[in-house]
Amino acid sequence: MHAITSILFVCTGNICRSPTAEAILRAKLEVAGLGQRLHIDSAGTHLQHIGEAPDSRSQHFALLRSYDLQHLRARQIKADDFASFDLLLAMDKHNLALLEAACPLPHRHKVALFMNYAITTEADEVPDPYYGGAAGFEQVLDYIEDAAAGLLATLLAEQSLDC
């Protein structure tokens, strides 16, 4: 297995969960001194929000925890993302199934659920907060912070093995 140098987070529209995961992991990588060593991005499986900034509620609740999403813009996953990224992490099982269906067989091992990295949260999916209220956006942040901490621990362990 080669070192992980690029990660793509994927949700439905790329305006709530996946950009939040992108921003949170970037922040954690900066603190750990790995910010420039990994390429982090996010995308959606659907095209309805291409070019849009993250949902204003996602931005608001993320900013309350010092994560800035305002510069991010939604994009749809592309065929070459499967070759370009070392990990493609889906926020839920529906998006995981869509990724697996589109993913060429040689890259299928790169596709997984993001919550597989969670340390304390037992949920296997990051729920979509789009149609809910404030509590849903807070829950998404809690889940993503937990899974990002686990992913960072995995990346740090990998870095120490490469040294």
Which residues does the annotation mark as catalytic?
11, 17, 128
Query: What is the pairing mode between strands 6-11 and 87-90?
Result: parallel
DSSP 75-128: -B--TTHHHH-SEEEESSHHHHHHHHHHS-GGGGGGEEEGGGG-SS---SS---
Long-range contacts at 99-108 (CB < 8 A, ≥ 24 apart): 99/10, 99/45, 102/77, 107/82, 107/83
